[in-house]
Amino acid sequence: MGYNETMKTSIVLVLLTLLTSSSGLNILGVFPHLGKSHADVFITLMKGLAQKGHTVTVISHFPLSKSIPNYKDIDLGGRSQAFVELLPMDVINPGSRLQMIGNVFLLSYFANISCEVGFSSPAMQKFLKTDEKFDLLIIEFFNSDCFMGLTQKIKAPVIGLSSCTIMPWTSERLGNPTHTAYIPNNNMDYSDQMTFRERLENTVITLIHQAHYQYVTLSRDEEIARKYLGEEASRIREFIRNSSLLITNSHFTLNLPRPLVPGVVEVGGLHIGKTQPLPKNIEKWINESPEGVIYFALGSLIKGDTFPKEKRDVFLRAFSRLPQRVLWKWESETMEGKPDNVMIQKWMPQLDILCHPNVKAFISHGGLLGTIEAVHCGVPVVVMPQFGDQHTNARALEASGGGVILQLREATEDKVYKALKKVLSADSRQKAKDLSERFRDRPMPPLETAIYWVEYVARHKGAPYMRTAAVNMPFYKYYLIDVAAFLIFIVSIFIYILYKAVKYAIRIICKTKETKVKSS
């Protein structure tokens, strides 16, 4: 190739690069919640967008350990306060109805911490002084909307992300139906098949949660936005109603079917990437178990080594009766009374373990990310829900054929043994594989789906036409209270007139009879 041809080729490559980079979006991601499991979902999407050539800035407490092109972290610096392996099990009362109902107040408390820690961060204060322009704002829709005040500064379409099933107060901002007859409040413990009492409780608790969020949480969010961003930024409710899209880490095959408006897109499994080779010691332990392996982990929030001793002994005795080996995520170096078929380790690569063909069952607390990973890998689960959405996840998983529920407070050696024998049965393992096939059978992988819709919203300037008219409807209109009142009024008038007419007719008939009697 000659010099001129080389120059021409170089110019073409440069132009193509410029064209590609010019078509990329400048995206701001804001994820101030202190829970790492939430960040795992969002960061996966933001990394995917960066790899597609978009420029991505991420405000969170969880910066990347290794930088990648097009990706910039703004570290809020709150990792020391993050909810990572924070809760000892003795402070959790998983069967308490009061705790389930009161989840909204706990979430509000954590939200206030996230808002204050995030806005007061030096990195955040420095960012607020910049004038960088963004094409999209991607933000978490969970337990607070204080950072929605940034919409006033960013002036770009807003996309919400949810790492869990849709919160009771989130659906209405997209005009998405929340029918409490069959859509369970994800702070409770219902499936979509509810008794009268459960439907009554589900309805009342959902209304309480929605009212608390509207009149307590959002009012506080407005004050925080006003404090840090100014008066104009406190129009939180207006910014919420103008949201373009909600991307939620759920899927109807697992989290039960429900109606979704065009502005709500399910991408359950968004955080799942390619499996990696296992550490040698774990791989050896799994491969050398002729009957397979049971994996036991309680996620990133619950400290496994705070497992109550009497319940731990129950599990250890049940494990000693099984031919399978057990991998137990345990944060201490030792475990008293551990049988030879149990291996403990402080950290384990969960997805890589679950997708190993010799792993036969999973004992879990019901966190959504771990539940999705088990479903993705086709592993049946014994679920011991503790708090938050774990009860709803457990019910959905059981209803979908992916596992069984074992309440920790009721756990005995025999109950643990029987639950494990059930999920280890050929029937349960086949149901888990069938669920996995349904879960994975999609037109596009979850990450590609999420990226497509993010780019779609940007291409169509926020895609306001996807918002249904329900978004701006007052309560009485949405639930047809005015129509119902009018119909009741009309029916009441008709019944009243009919009553008067019948009464008058009876009076006439009676008078006629009296006249006839007198005349005779």
% of the chain surpassing 90 pLDDT: 75
Averaging pLDDT over each range in 306-310, 329-333, 430-434, which range is the top one? Answer: 430-434
On the question of pLDDT at 120 being above 90, the answer is yes
| Distance (Å) of CA 259 to CA 1, 143, 171, 175, 334 | 60, 22, 11, 11, 49
User: What is the C-alpha to C-alpha distance for residues 373 and 283, in angstroms, rounded to an integer?
Assistant: 19
* Local structure of 41: helix, strand or coil: helix
pTM here?
A: 0.87
* Local structure of 56: helix, strand or coil: strand
Under 8 Å between Cβ of 134 and 28: yes
**How many CB atoms are located within 10 Å of the residue 194 CB?**
19
| Distance (Å) of CA 417 to CA 101, 314, 322, 384, 488 | 31, 9, 8, 14, 58
Q: Which tokens is 317 given?
A: 């005795």
On the question of pLDDT at 14 being above 70, the answer is no
Averaging pLDDT over each range in 83-87, 114-118, 330-334, which range is the top one? Answer: 114-118
What pLDDT is attached to residue 334?
Answer: 85
**How many CB atoms are located within 10 Å of the residue 1 CB?**
7
Predicted confidence (pLDDT) per residue in 140-182, tens digit = 999 999 999 999 999 999 999 999 999 999 999 999 999 999 9
What pLDDT is attached to residue 112?
Answer: 92
What pLDDT is attached to residue 325?
Answer: 96
Q: Which tokens is 108 given?
A: 């509000």
Predicted confidence (pLDDT) per residue in 186-229, tens digit = 988 899 999 999 999 999 999 999 999 999 999 999 999 999 99
Under 8 Å between Cβ of 292 and 435: no
| Distance (Å) of CA 128 to CA 155, 425, 437 | 14, 57, 46
Residue 326's DSSP bridge partners are: 294, 342
Report residue 460's pLDDT band, with 50, 70 and 90 as the boundaries.
very high
Report residue 80's pLDDT band, with 50, 70 and 90 as the boundaries.
low
What pLDDT is attached to residue 13?
Answer: 40
- Give, for 329, the enclosing helix (H) or strand (E): strand 325-329
Question: 435 or 300: whose pLDDT is higher?
Answer: 435
What pLDDT is attached to residue 509?
Answer: 86
% of the chain surpassing 70 pLDDT: 90
Mean pLDDT of the chain: 89
Report residue 307's pLDDT band, with 50, 70 and 90 as the boundaries.
confident
Beta strands in 427-511 (DSSP E): none
Averaged pLDDT, 123-137: 95
